[in-house]
Structure 1
Amino acid sequence: MTIWPSDDNRTGVYRQINELLKGFSRPLPSGSGSGTDQAWLDAGQRATLAALQNRLCERDLPGAIIADEVGMGKTRIAVALACAVVRASGRVVVAVPPGLLHQWREEFHKTFRAAKEDPPEIPEIRSLRDLYSDDSRSLRSAPVLLLPHGLLNFQMKNGWGSQRLRTLYQDHIAGRERFSRMIPADEKQIIGDHVGRLANDHALQPEELQSGGTGREAFISFTLSLLGGFDLVIIDEAHKSKDDASAERENAHRSTLAQLLLRLVRQDRVKNVPPRRLCLTATPFELGPDNWRQILLRAGVDDEIAQSCGKASEKFLAAAKAVQLLPGPATAEAFRIAATEFHEQLSPWMLRRRKAVPGNDSVLERYISKHGPDYRDRSQRITAEVTSKDWSVAVMAVEALSLMPATGLAAQKRLRLALARGFSLASAFDAVEKPEKGDWRDSDEHTLSAPGRGPVTNRQEDRRRERAGFWLERLKPAAADPYAHPTLLAAVRAIEKIAIRSEAPEKVLVFGIFTQAMRRLTDLLNAREMIRRLMIFSQNPDAPFKTWHWPGETIPVDAQFREALAAALQMADMRSLVGNADIDTLSGLMQRQYDKYRSQRSRALDDVRIYVTETLGPQIGLAVQTEKLVLPLTQALIEIMDDQELRHGRSTVAEAWDAFRKENLPNNEEDEDGASDPDQNLTSRIKLALTDFDGRNGFFARRLAGGMGPAAKQHLQTAFNRRASWPMVLVAQSSVGREGLNLHTSCRTVVLFQPEWNPGVVEQQIGRVDRIGSLWEEMVSQHRGNTEPPKIRILPVELPGSYDEHNWKVLNDRWDSYRAQMNGEVFGSAKSMDQASCEVTEVVRNATPDFSPLPGAPET
């Protein structure tokens, strides 16, 4: 019997949702994870859960999309629905982006405890090998499974991991005659062939299971069938991995996420009853109508309906642009018609709540009613200045190269971007030194020649190559001095103005794309702050240690940091501080200030260390052999105490330990990349939590880049959210830091060091600081008087005349289109509202689509 009844609404998931709605509306006791006098689900979250009940149970729809703005609690709603499924004896699987598995596991445990039930066991799955583990039978019965988006992102080679996976597969199919009904017939036949070959002692070859291999799809289907069937499939960040939803695309050409979802929704528990789907995303569409179609297909919508929604989106967007350009009765009426159709097409599938809701007593709504809709300030720019001769010539050279006809130089047309963003000037010179076929330095043997004749010299082509070589030579001086890059220097000045020089320094979140440019920015910020602090110590050793302390006993030996430090010492404002001081002088000052800092903090360090060894030790089983944990744990607790004292005026070691435990040891469970021993004790988990902890060695600026483990990300996120601890600046890789991270409690400024083209991506980036309970909301609540109210600052870095300047204009146009569709902000700014009459504005405002499940939203 299905747990999603369409006729009898008194049983199954429907009934469980009713019970949860009652329970989650009551205030939870202090210490439950929600806070005193707060319900586990707020009114908007409960309304969304009730709307999901209506769609998935009563109306028997295959799926739904929760597209709430960032920071509105989509995960909590999804887990509440999953809780209802599990309580109805169903099974749930969640496809989770990398790095967020621990957050989902924690949310599941908190939600079940809020429902007064024991949390389910959630097996840890990090690779396909885990599906063949000795305990694999428990996977088939586990009520909840979390799978990483990239589970199928594997290669079959001759390494140990590939050999082990291939052996496990062969061991499981050897001698079998029957296979799961969830595997298509053609793939069963391929698996049957594998069984026959194994019976004749013919092992499978790696290339057969490699991408494009004859047996790869069947192997994936069999492996995932070991998990059993599901009743609910939740897809977090469901907008990812686009251009793969078309049914006509071959499996081998689909993204790994699309291939994973294809198998998960195929695994129905009752014949002809596929699992319901729930897509979570703050950016369901990003660039065009086809994006609507793709995410709707992932929600189980028929292709015909999905295409119709995409067309309605296209019409609505055109009508929105028309009424923006020519606000009048005719365009307003056309907009109303298009908006109505758009809402009717999309509302059965999508639910979206906004932070600002008329009648809701939120900080944002009060701000908008009093100051207007522009609570995000994107009017400012960080403008780079080209002052030096080398960079003036470089700008001229890049323009000349970009306007020339193609010469075969691979990097030539990218140089405009390279100059503005500082990421690939060197590649042009690599091409010069190591020419490839078609390069501008190739000999005339590759030019056109007539049949039967020798090579014909093309004088025009030869002159083009000579000109390209001339302009490339003009670029070399600028490329040789990357720390003098105008955009880099402009970004440093703007960031320091906010994070150091303001009356009330604030933290700054920076987003970049290219690794080397981001590293130079981070190193230069750290080098300059190191110099400033050491000079304060040199001039006044008796000043408060917080003004001169730099973590560490010696200057880092890292070659790239030393290069940044040498560059910083040559900058005019630094020279005015250091005079003739060099790196050796700074090394001596570093040792002296470290000794003084250690003596000043020794008492606090000793007090906390005693608490750790004598009080915590017996409580948590901190054995003698774990002495190496004592110092980092002590340092971590001191850092937490500093932040608590700044916020509340007082702190104790016990309070710091409680905060550390909640932040790093949630629910006494393993991290997603924890030790292989599932029974690891508390000491082991503390060691894991402190693996990437920098403690007092943390720098003024830190980089969040790819390859960083979940534990390190968690530490960096926690440290950035503390106002009393470094880093003051977090430089995040766009693809790593834009989703799933909460970076809002101590920051309201986003610097777009290398702006993206995609408005959905930028919306996600800004969403890291634009969240409920943010620093900005706190500042607005405390704002008094007639002064300009605080805003969330969005600062793109631009090089005048470069392609990035044009990029920002295009991005803003796309951004306005995005917010018109998703937020109804057709006249999003005060300026655009002034251009329209009151009557037109009223028609547009009343017609804008509203997908909110709260009372007052249009009926669906």
Structure 2
Amino acid sequence: MTSGTFNWATVAVALRERASQQQQLACAEGEAAAHLNPGQRASLHALAERIGDHGVVLADEVGMGKTRIAVELIRAVNHAGGRVAVVAPPGLGYQWHDELKRGGVDAPAMLRGLYRYLEAWSGEEITPDKPWFEAPTLVLSQAFANWRMGEHTSRWRRELLPLVLARWRKDAGFKYPNGFHASCPYDSWVEQAAASIVKHINQDPRQPACTWLANLNNQNAWPDPRNQTDYSSGTPHRDWLEQVVGFGLGTFDLVVIDEAHKSRGSDSGLSRLLGNVLQSTLQSRRLCMTATPVELDVEQWRQTFERLGLDEPVRDRLQPVINDFAQAIRHLRAHWRSSDTARQHYQVTASAFQSALSPYLLRRDKREDVDVARFTELTQGKNYRNTDSAVSVDVGTLSLPWRQAVCATEALSVTARLDENVTAKRLRLTLANGHGIADLLAQINEPEDSSVLAVDEQTSTVDNKRQQRVQWWLQTAAHAFQTPHHLFEHPAILATIAAIEAAHGQDEKVLVFGRFTAPMRALVRLLNAREMLRSLQAGRYWPQSVIQTRDEDSDEHSQWAAVRVAHRQLQSPLALSRIPELLATQYNSHSARREQFRRHLLDWLQTGLPHDDPLPRAMLKHLEAAQRTREVAEAVEKHPVALFVRAILDLTGEDVEHLTAEHTCTAFCQLLSAASDQRTDDDPEAADNQETALQWELLLARLQAESGHQEGGFARLMYGGTEQSTRRLLQLAFNRSKSFPRVLVAQSTVGREGLNLHLACKTVILMHPEWNPGVVEQQIGRVDRVGSQWSRQLDDALKQNRPPAQLPQIDVHPVIFRGTYDEYNWQVLLERWDDLRAQLHGEVIPAREADGDVAYEQLLAELKAGAPCFSPLGRSA
């Protein structure tokens, strides 16, 4: 509950003191000893100056440590007696919990839905005498308010509103509402929640909840929970329920919104959570965290400041300044070489833009990073990101059928009216990425069944001939896809594999981003098949015993199909028919290594596990009991001890000879943490799973599912259907330099925000480049973070006195299919990327525009010096 003495002046003092303490520590023991770097310390001072007056957008570039700054602010608010709500994407709950714990802030696990919200009053999460409104800090999923209230959903979901209103009426001296007794019985836990919330409201009758309930009671009929359709999205009852749920959360002095650029629409779940569910005090502030407050359009500044909670008159005052700056940028790009007027006007509008937005916006970029600054100085301005090495697919190098397909597809853009012919349009848009080709084949090869290709007898002769030409070009394009494994032969996938295997040859892990699941899955299977064949030929251990034979004959992109294609591509000397035997033999030959580790496992865990964390010790007891009681006849590979042996060996890179008790205990604890986390919604069954996630059988089930992976694991796919616990395990393993996967293929919507994948990887391949440069920045930011693999390699290179030309870079490789729509997509992305850098990085004209001319370079330097700067360190950084 918020203390009556809370004020922002106390928070400001605490922030400045914390920054000063960190500064003293850095001076006394070096920057490495400080928890906060110079930019983060400067940000605390800047927050102290601003947060008492209004909210702040913390827009530091991806990977600069925004969360650590936010945690310091949260701790200061808690110490001053205030309450904080952190609103974050559903998949980042565990990372926020870790950061809060590291910063000395206690908070319950992420609240994701109504089920767990109500369970707080059942005594299982927060005790009844300390419900949600008493917790100083809460972490909520951005999807918390996405409740299912359909016709067939359980009644308990809508019982809280009528119960709170009925009990409030009764406590106020009125009778129960008409129909209340007829609507009984209610779920006991909902009744307990309602009683607790009403008691909390009545303790302070001056708070807005009392007035709101009184108005609702006087002006509306009692909301009967038996009327199911009254609670659907967009109805008054749904809005009222959201408000009442918010009363149970309590009021907040600070709301921290992570990835605040997401779900900008006013009717989105995040917007409803912020606007209707979360209750704010009169002096409440918001901290919006986003590396991309504007992505595609300057109008998004208005949306960002609206999410920040700025009043409409303030937004109206800012918008003309933003528009003038954007217009000045467009004019400058056309005339920067020749027009003094354009350059001067830009300088004036840039200054006004900085003055207007500075009170509300803080942004540090990578130029302030110590490693980036060192790299830039030593290489005389070279970019530490290598974005010039595209994975290029050139039509002239393709086989004849594929060249014909590209030419035919381009001919369709001339011959066909693409807005009329859906098949031709889809083919042109998807040729480069392989998405949907299989579906299109049926339409192309069976035109008589396709209305989009049928020739209308009523059309003119000219139109009939045009349709016939369209059909001929479609048939020509289809010839390239007649192989049974067309995705395994797709030029873009093969070019991506070549780039990945080249990086692997340099002992580099690779992060691949894509949008379309079928090509991504084909990429993963073909990578694994090729690496498996190489391992078998070289006599290296490959962690796979069988090849899946399910649907072998019908699935053209099955594991066996991938093995057959890889065998042909590599011209492998191994007999294809002997591969299953070779796999089983080599897997069994390593059983002695696993058995050696298995004999030590329990003793090492008993000796080395921490005593201050009850979970590992509890799981060890289950493991010991399983060792004693499991039936001898049960398959050894399914034994719990065997599961943990395989999981730990996979995580540590199978290095049994050098594995120590300390390493084993660390890996065991990491596995428990990763496998115990699971995303849930407000479904009672899913919520039950979360509450029992630490229980033994569920833990075994997750490890069994993961260790039962049948494709070796050199490359792994992480997409929308990947369980949250599996994502955690993949993230954990990918961040270890010696373990599989060596390649992580991530769907853009799943892996682009929040995930830390930087500890063992500095190579990113954009298999399906996006249209939105903000998304691409987020993707690259997965490996471009504080403490990254690249920064460690840079340290090593400098210690070895390597010349500037040999210093490592973060490698970003877009896959571009030249001569297709894919190339146009990339050009549009580059233009939008320039716009983004102009808005957020002060790079209004790309350096490449100077083209080596000294005079033009001087002009660009002057323009850059006058660009807006929102860094708390100032332009000197």
Q: What TM-score range do you get, normalising by the shorter chain?
A: 0.7 to 0.9
1:88-127 aligned within 5 A: 88-112=80-104, 119-122=105-108, 124-127=110-113
Equivalent position of 2:285 in the other structure: 276
| SS of 1:226 mapped into structure 2 | helix
Structure 1 stretch displaced more, 586-595 or 669-678: 669-678
* Deviation of 1:766 (Å): 0.7
| SS of 2:584 mapped into structure 1 | helix
Equivalent position of 1:506 in the other structure: 508
- Does structure 2 conserve the Cα–Cα contact (< 8 Å) formed by 1:157 and 1:163? no
- Indicate how the Cα distance of structure 1 residues 64 and 664 shifts in structure 2: closer, same or farther if over 3 A, else same: farther
Find 1:257's aligned residue among 248, 262, 270.
Answer: 270
Q: Distance in 2 between matches of 1:708 and 1:346?
A: 40
Q: Distance in 1 between matches of 2:411 and 2:690?
A: 61
The alignment status of 1:157 with 2:179, answered yes or no, reads: no
Equivalent position of 2:407 in the other structure: 396
1:725-736 aligned within 5 A: 725-736=739-750
Q: Distance in 2 between matches of 1:522 and 1:188?
A: 60
* Deviation of 1:701 (Å): 0.4
* Deviation of 1:142 (Å): 1.4
Equivalent position of 2:15 in the other structure: 17
- Indicate how the Cα distance of structure 1 residues 852 and 687 shifts in structure 2: closer, same or farther if over 3 A, else same: farther
Encode CA deviations 1:403-426: one digit per residue, 9 max, x unaligned. Answer: 312574434323222101110223
- Indicate how the Cα distance of structure 1 residues 402 and 214 shifts in structure 2: closer, same or farther if over 3 A, else same: farther
- Indicate how the Cα distance of structure 1 residues 660 and 280 shifts in structure 2: closer, same or farther if over 3 A, else same: farther
Q: Distance in 1 between matches of 2:214 and 2:696?
A: 47
The alignment status of 1:851 with 2:870, answered yes or no, reads: yes
| SS of 1:577 mapped into structure 2 | coil
| SS of 1:578 mapped into structure 2 | coil
| SS of 1:826 mapped into structure 2 | coil
What is the number of residues matched between the two proteins?
790
Equivalent position of 1:451 in the other structure: none
* Deviation of 1:83 (Å): 1.1
1:181-196 aligned within 5 A: 196=222
Q: Distance in 2 between matches of 1:80 and 1:728?
A: 35
Equivalent position of 2:246 in the other structure: 224
- Indicate how the Cα distance of structure 1 residues 87 and 399 shifts in structure 2: closer, same or farther if over 3 A, else same: same
Q: Distance in 2 between matches of 1:677 and 1:749?
A: 34
1:769-788 aligned within 5 A: 769-783=783-797, 784-786=801-803, 787-788=805-806
Give the partner amino acid of 1:379: D
* Deviation of 1:760 (Å): 0.6
* Deviation of 1:466 (Å): 3.8
Equivalent position of 1:813 in the other structure: 831
| SS of 2:263 mapped into structure 1 | coil
* Deviation of 1:276 (Å): 0.4
Structure 1 stretch displaced more, 175-184 or 526-535: 175-184
Q: Distance in 1 between matches of 2:620 and 2:572?
A: 50
- Does structure 2 conserve the Cα–Cα contact (< 8 Å) formed by 1:289 and 1:311? no
Equivalent position of 1:203 in the other structure: 226
Q: Distance in 2 between matches of 1:434 and 1:172?
A: 62
Across the aligned residues of Structure 1 and Structure 2, the Cα RMSD in angstroms comes to: 3.7
* Deviation of 1:797 (Å): 0.9
* Deviation of 1:363 (Å): 1.6
Q: Distance in 1 between matches of 2:208 and 2:436?
A: 48
- Does structure 2 conserve the Cα–Cα contact (< 8 Å) formed by 1:238 and 1:280? yes
1:542-621 aligned within 5 A: 548-557=540-549, 559=551, 563=558, 565-570=560-565, 574=569, 576-578=571-573, 581-582=575-576, 584-608=577-601, 610-612=603-605, 621=620
Equivalent position of 2:820 in the other structure: 802
- Does structure 1 conserve the Cα–Cα contact (< 8 Å) formed by 2:57 and 2:361? yes
Q: Distance in 2 between matches of 1:154 and 1:35?
A: 50
Segments of structure 1 that go 5 or more residues without pairing to the other structure are 29-33, 113-118, 246-253, 448-455, 538-547
- Indicate how the Cα distance of structure 1 residues 823 and 189 shifts in structure 2: closer, same or farther if over 3 A, else same: same
Equivalent position of 2:663 in the other structure: 655
The alignment status of 1:714 with 2:705, answered yes or no, reads: no
* Deviation of 1:746 (Å): 1.6
Q: Distance in 2 between matches of 1:471 and 1:751?
A: 32
Q: Distance in 1 between matches of 2:783 and 2:454?
A: 51
Q: Distance in 1 between matches of 2:854 and 2:743?
A: 41
- Does structure 1 conserve the Cα–Cα contact (< 8 Å) formed by 2:648 and 2:664? yes
* Deviation of 1:462 (Å): 4.2
Equivalent position of 2:633 in the other structure: none
Give the partner amino acid of 2:434: G
Find 2:116's aligned residue among 130, 148, 156.
Answer: 130
Give the partner amino acid of 2:544: G
| SS of 1:398 mapped into structure 2 | helix
Structure 1 stretch displaced more, 213-222 or 519-528: 213-222
| SS of 2:222 mapped into structure 1 | helix
Q: Distance in 2 between matches of 1:769 and 1:385?
A: 28
Q: Distance in 2 between matches of 1:821 and 1:121?
A: 36
| SS of 1:71 mapped into structure 2 | coil
* Deviation of 1:214 (Å): 4.9
- Does structure 2 conserve the Cα–Cα contact (< 8 Å) formed by 1:568 and 1:574? no
Structure 1 stretch displaced more, 180-189 or 424-433: 180-189
Q: Distance in 2 between matches of 1:426 and 1:459?
A: 32
The alignment status of 1:423 with 2:423, answered yes or no, reads: no
Encode CA deviations 1:443-502: one digit per residue, 9 max, x unaligned. Answer: 85xx8xxxxxxxx55544444444444333334343442222111111111111111xx3
* Deviation of 1:283 (Å): 1.0
- Indicate how the Cα distance of structure 1 residues 587 and 568 shifts in structure 2: closer, same or farther if over 3 A, else same: closer
The alignment status of 1:291 with 2:300, answered yes or no, reads: yes
Counting aligned pairs with the same residue, the percent is: 33
* Deviation of 1:441 (Å): 5.1
- Does structure 2 conserve the Cα–Cα contact (< 8 Å) formed by 1:498 and 1:508? yes
TM-score (norm 2): 0.81
* Deviation of 1:190 (Å): 6.8
Equivalent position of 1:484 in the other structure: 489
Equivalent position of 1:47 in the other structure: 42
Give the partner amino acid of 1:718: L
Equivalent position of 1:249 in the other structure: none
Q: Distance in 1 between matches of 2:11 and 2:446?
A: 65
| SS of 1:287 mapped into structure 2 | coil
Encode CA deviations 1:294-325: one digit per residue, 9 max, x unaligned. Answer: 11111122334335544434443444455555
Equivalent position of 1:379 in the other structure: 388
Q: Distance in 2 between matches of 1:101 and 1:370?
A: 39
Encode CA deviations 1:670-707: one digit per residue, 9 max, x unaligned. Answer: 76658668698786896588476449975110011113
Give the partner amino acid of 2:791: E
- Does structure 2 conserve the Cα–Cα contact (< 8 Å) formed by 1:492 and 1:525? yes
Q: Distance in 1 between matches of 2:515 and 2:209?
A: 40
Q: Distance in 2 between matches of 1:699 and 1:562?
A: 17
Equivalent position of 1:768 in the other structure: 782
- Does structure 1 conserve the Cα–Cα contact (< 8 Å) formed by 2:762 and 2:783? yes
- Indicate how the Cα distance of structure 1 residues 465 and 597 shifts in structure 2: closer, same or farther if over 3 A, else same: same
Equivalent position of 2:337 in the other structure: 327
Q: Distance in 2 between matches of 1:564 and 1:807?
A: 32
| SS of 1:100 mapped into structure 2 | helix
* Deviation of 1:264 (Å): 4.7
Find 2:64's aligned residue among 66, 69, 72.
Answer: 72
Q: Distance in 2 between matches of 1:762 and 1:286?
A: 10
| SS of 1:420 mapped into structure 2 | coil
Give the partner amino acid of 2:353: F
Segments of structure 2 that go 5 or more residues without pairing to the other structure are 123-127, 173-197, 202-206, 610-615, 628-638, 681-686
| SS of 2:585 mapped into structure 1 | helix
Give the partner amino acid of 2:433: R
Q: Distance in 2 between matches of 1:761 and 1:192?
A: 49
| SS of 1:421 mapped into structure 2 | coil
- Indicate how the Cα distance of structure 1 residues 610 and 284 shifts in structure 2: closer, same or farther if over 3 A, else same: same
Equivalent position of 2:764 in the other structure: 750
- Does structure 1 conserve the Cα–Cα contact (< 8 Å) formed by 2:488 and 2:562? yes
Q: Distance in 2 between matches of 1:216 and 1:397?
A: 53
* Deviation of 1:829 (Å): 3.5
* Deviation of 1:390 (Å): 3.0
TM-score (norm 1): 0.83
Q: Distance in 1 between matches of 2:214 and 2:25?
A: 52
Encode CA deviations 1:786-831: one digit per residue, 9 max, x unaligned. Answer: 3432221111111111111111112112112212221223355466
* Deviation of 1:709 (Å): 3.0
Give the partner amino acid of 1:652: T
Q: Distance in 1 between matches of 2:328 and 2:73?
A: 37
